[in-house]
Chain A
Amino acid sequence: MSINTDMAVRVTAITQVAESVKRFRFERLDGKPFPVFPGGAHVVVAWKDGGMIRRNPYSLMSAPGDTSAYEISVLRVEKSRGGSAFLHEKVKLGDTLSLSQPVDLFPIDQRGRKHIFMAGGIGITPFMAMMDQLSKLNQNFELHYAVRTRTHGAYWQELTERYGAHRVKIYCDAEKLFIPTEPLLGAQPLGTHLYVCGPGGMIDGVLGTARKLGWPEENLHSERFLAPPPGAPFTVKLTRSNKTVEVAEHQSILEAVEAAGVDAPFMCRGGACGQCETNVTACDGEILHHDHYLPQADKASGKKIMICVSRIKGKEITLDL
């Protein structure tokens, strides 16, 4: 029942927006408008890398109502598995890639009376689209944005100009300025929602403070950038397609299965949406669950795995695929 709704696109602009951060602008080859998307949504970008198809999720950062182009911003990661390095170094103007339909796993809670965004580094991208959307709806929001240095931080100047210093606060590590999480979260009116995006440690820290202050779980939202972590190679046996596939060090099970020509369901490729949940028939080692989707009980059962990010410590796993 898979209908292919992917969109073939051409790279029409590449802009260096900060140290190690490039913005890519995509326009459709068929000239049709892009779908409008909700602020916070991402697309899965697919490209050919040698003989392989690589697919990575990126938050959309352009204005959600702008159907002429989609834009993403990519941080060049030091220990990249190939995604950010490929986009930074190999992709040229005019190249063609493929984009999935937008998917929103980091939605704005529309009931909120006020919205606080806290971004660390490249975590700013989903908030760019969310703020554009909220400002057009005349809704109440604030951005608190932490950057390493002024030159590493992308978009802080234009965001300050656009939304005003009363709504956009920049905190620069190098200047010893940090988000004053505790006083800030202690004073928000009832009905405020908090959204955090950035490095894992920052997300845990901010959410921990919010909980300590008595914020209810229902008002806390976060998105983690989770690339499939590397690990020792292992073998996957697929019972339904009757295939045996090797998973390399820098490959996810999903990628290995796709490379073998097996059509497995996926959506976010970041361990969040639940679409690639797969039943485990047998496993001779330990499953390393990296997703933040499966409930703890399912993880402990050893019967389920999210193949987009999780792998095993062992020789072989048998999957119902």
Chain B
Amino acid sequence: MLVNGIKSRPVYTGLTIDPNAGRHLFALEGEGPQALFDQVQQVGAGFLASAQILYVPTTAAPKDHAAKIAALKPDDLWLAPTIAVLLNRFRNELSRATMRTRIYVAGTEGFIGQVMRETLDFGVDHKSIRNEHRGSEARRVQCVHCKGITEDVKTSPYACTHCGLNLLVRDHYSRRLAAFQGVSIEAEEPGTAPPPEELFR
């Protein structure tokens, strides 16, 4: 099966601040705040007075990101212990948001995908969401066979953490599942899976 030249992978176009928005709602993870800091450097800190920032620091990210955000004095900063908790709070914010609210997401690909998915459920077009990839290139992958999602996949093939099949990670991405596709690499001839190769760091 070919893996090159596949079109469904999202293009992360950058966290560019929308100067017209009345409210800026950020969902950040891990290294995501760096995209925010870059914006502050470029356009100044003015937008932070109407910014609400939900941030989930991850173990891989330096500890001082949260402190640095706080020092910028956004209108509201909230730290979440896990992605699931952040998504829950984020949903709540969306239910109160207006058309003047601009949504920004930055972090790993798997995180961006999950936040985007929540937003789509509110009738928002994915193109309206500003996003920037920061941090690890590891992938969130759905096993097409058992449907189990494995986070932080760094190699292809990898063994599905749910059904154990050796899966090729295709460059085929589903916005709705916020995941890449994993397909059995040895379905035609069991026992022929090549050794895993680290492709996504």
Interface residues of A (CB under 8 A from B): 111-113, 185-192, 211-219
Contacts and interface: CB of A to CB of B under 8 A. Distances in A.
A189 B97 contact: yes
B123 A188 contact: no
Which of the listed residues A188, A189, A190, A212 has the most CB atoms from chain B within 10 Å of its own CB? A190
A213 B128 contact: no
Contact of B102 (A189, A191, A214): A214
A214 B20 contact: yes
B13 to A, nearest CB: 13
Given A186-B98, A186-B100, A188-B99, A214 B18 contact: yes
Contact of A214 (B94, B100, B123): B100
A226 B91 CA distance: 42
Interface in B52-96: 94
Given A188-B98, A215-B100, 20 more contacts: A111-B125, A112-B123, A188-B99, A189-B97, A189-B99, A190-B94, A190-B97, A190-B98, A190-B101, A191-B122, A192-B99, A213-B20, A213-B22, A213-B99, A214-B22, A214-B100, A216-B124, A217-B127, A219-B99, A219-B128
A190 B123 contact: yes
Contacts of B100: 186, 213-215
Contacts of B187: none
B144 interface: no
Interface of B: 18, 20-22, 94, 97-102, 122-125, 127-128
Nearest to A185: B99
A117 to B, nearest CB: 15
Contacts of B94: 190
B124 to A, nearest CB: 6
B125 A218 contact: yes
A211 B97 contact: no
A66 B97 CA distance: 38
Contacts of A187: 98
Contacts of A190: 94, 97-99, 101, 122-124
Contact of B123 (A113, A185, A217): A113
A192 B124 CA distance: 9
Nearest to B93: A190
Given A188-B99, A189-B98, A111 B123 contact: yes
A260 to B, nearest CB: 43
Contact of A216 (B22, B97, B98, B128): B128
